[in-house]
Amino acid sequence: MCKVVSKADRCRGRLEFAARTRFLYQMDHIFRKLQKHISLLVVSLSVLLTGCGEQENRDEVLLDNEAVNMAYGLTSVSVEDVVLTKQLVVTYTQEKDQEVSFNVGGRRVSKVYVNAGDQVRKGDLLVELATDGLQEQIDELEYRVSRNQKELEYLDSAQKFEEQSTYNSFVYNNPDIKEEDLKKLEDSEEAVSRNYRYKREEISDELEFDRARLTALKSQMSSARITSTMDGVVYRVTDELEGSTSRKDEVVMTIVDNKSGRFVMEEPDFASFFHEGELYNLKIVYSSAVGDYEVTPLDLDSWNEEQYFEIVSGPENDGIDVGTTASIIIELDRRDMVMALPLGAIHYADGKPYVYVLDENDFRQVQWIETGLTGDDRVEIVYGLNAGDKVVY
């Protein structure tokens, strides 16, 4: 037989369930507060006991209850080296470079032959300005200069031939030479000489003008075609260079010799940690030259705001790109063979270090300690623990 539950009974059941839930929540809240007060009491007693007999009054230290209740493991106080290091950032730069610029302005950049990152060899054509028929003018002038030079050479023999012909004609036409006839011969020879002198002067003037013009045009052509002066890598090219108008002395491209560079650091506060002739480890993480290298200080006496290093050894590669960053790790301080704990095992309250240890009943207890050097991953323990002691970690 089915039991019929009235609407009132259902409502009464819900109220009872809500009341029980609220009661359990209140009891849980009271329990958590009581647990926290007990923890505070334990810590306060520890502070009082450790401060017994001292003139200084310690402030009550409040510990985080969440930290106390977290899951944990154990570690032992070990005897080992505690080392503090510093990572310093260095940047690769080049010693040799070529800054490409035009020595004329107002001309159109007709062709750019390279892009940033391209490898180039000495003599490779990099960029070219519009010549607008310049080569045709040079070819024409070179022809005229060559022709006039040959004509000058021809005039010498032509003059000698004409002078000889004049003399022969005079002798043939004057079998009985008189004194007045000799005067005519001299006048004829002088006329021939004068005629050829004028021709030489005319051709020489043309040659001088054409040579000067040719030199100027070749200079323009040379300035229009810029080549690399060394083997290297194209480091930078001005955006949208091709088709633009040249500006005199404006650097539009840089070529660097990526095999003759050095690393630069800007850490003057740490310069005293480096010594001439000593090797230091350098690591490149991101670039085409990833790897571990050995470097040594360069020009130590000239160090100021910048410090320099050169590579002594490292992996084989095609060169290090300019701007590549790397790191050098130096040792700032160390303690050899001292008691130590991992960094995560040390806690602090109001700046005072403490650890959790287990008592004979495996309950965690606060143990105040004194620490020495804080290294990269270990902390030196000066007082409060012994080697081999188990510490909550």
For the stretch 215-260, pLDDT in tens is: 988 887 877 889 998 888 888 899 999 999 999 999 999 888 766 7
Nearest to 332 by CA among 371, 298, 373, 304: 373
Q: Which residue is associated with the tokens 């009132």?
A: 8
Q: What's the pTM?
A: 0.49
The topology (CATH level 3) of 71-96+258-393 is 2.40.420
Residue showing tokens 């080992």: 80
Amino acid type, 110 = S
**Is residue 5 pLDDT above 50, yes or no?**
no
CA–CA dist 187, 246 (Å, integer)? 62
Q: State how far the Cα of 359 lies from the Cα of 361, in Å rounded to an integer.
A: 5
Q: Which two tokens stand for residue 110?
A: 């007709």
The string of DSSP codes covering 88-134 is: EEEEEEES-EEEEEBSS-S-BEEEE---TT-EE-TT-EEEEE--SSH
Tell me the pLDDT band of 336, cut-offs 50, 70 and 90. Answer: very high
Q: What percent of the chain has pLDDT over 90?
A: 47
Residues 6 or more apart from 4 whose CB is under 8 A from it?
A: none
pLDDT band at 43 (very low <50, low <70, confident <90, very high): very low
Tokens found for residue 315? 């992996």
364 SS3 class: strand
Per-residue model confidence (pLDDT) at position 14: 53
What sections of 110-237 are H helices per DSSP?
A: 134-173, 179-224
- 71: pLDDT confidence band, cut at 50, 70 and 90? low
Query: How much is the mean pLDDT over the chain?
Result: 82
DSSP 324: -
State residue 287's pLDDT score: 84
Helix or strand run (H / E) with residue 379: strand 378-383
Quickly state the pLDDT bin for 163 (edges 50, 70, 90): confident
Whole-number pLDDT of residue 362: 82
The separation between the first and the last C-alpha atoms of the chain, rounded to the nearest angstrom, is 63
User: Would the pLDDT of 52 be above 80?
Assistant: no
- Tokens encoding 62: 């409040």
